[in-house]
Amino acid sequence: MEIGVKIRKMRELRNLTQDFMAKGLGITQETYSRLETGQTKINMKRIEDIAKILDVDPLTLMNFDENFVFNNCSQNQAGKIVNNYTTLATEERNFYLERISTLEKEIQQLKKSKV
């Protein structure tokens, strides 16, 4: 499996968008898309940067095997598939926490301006 496909699958398992990845790398979404589709070659530095955003070791990313992931899934009591492998990347978690904080401040300001 090509490295771009591995990156895409890992990104999708983490529920990250191409836009999120591109911003983390300081490139456009279109440029990032070319990395995943193999239109642009990926050097080791770029792999390290992508792995950091995905919150995995670069070797884990390069050796990604989707069969391993799906073999580590289980069914919950409702019969739904639960993935035991993925969690939010640290950067994504921090992004959401910052966004929540900003929105809470905006809500407080709107409440004050309404009174």
Could you give the CA distance from residue 110 to residue 97 in angstroms, rounded to a whole number?
20
pLDDT score, position 115: 60
pLDDT score, position 8: 93
DSSP SS3 for 83: strand
pLDDT score, position 87: 54
Instruction: Report the 10 Å Cβ neighbour count for 64.
Output: 19
Which residues of the chain fall short of a pLDDT of 70? 66-89, 115
pLDDT score, position 35: 95
User: What does the radius of gyration of the chain's CA atoms come to, in whole angstroms?
Assistant: 18
Indicate the CATH number of 3-86 among 3.60.40.10, 3.40.640.10, 1.10.260.40, 3.40.190.10. Answer: 1.10.260.40
pLDDT score, position 88: 56
Task: Tell me if the pTM is above 0.75.
Answer: no
Could you tell me how many residues make up the chain? Answer: 115
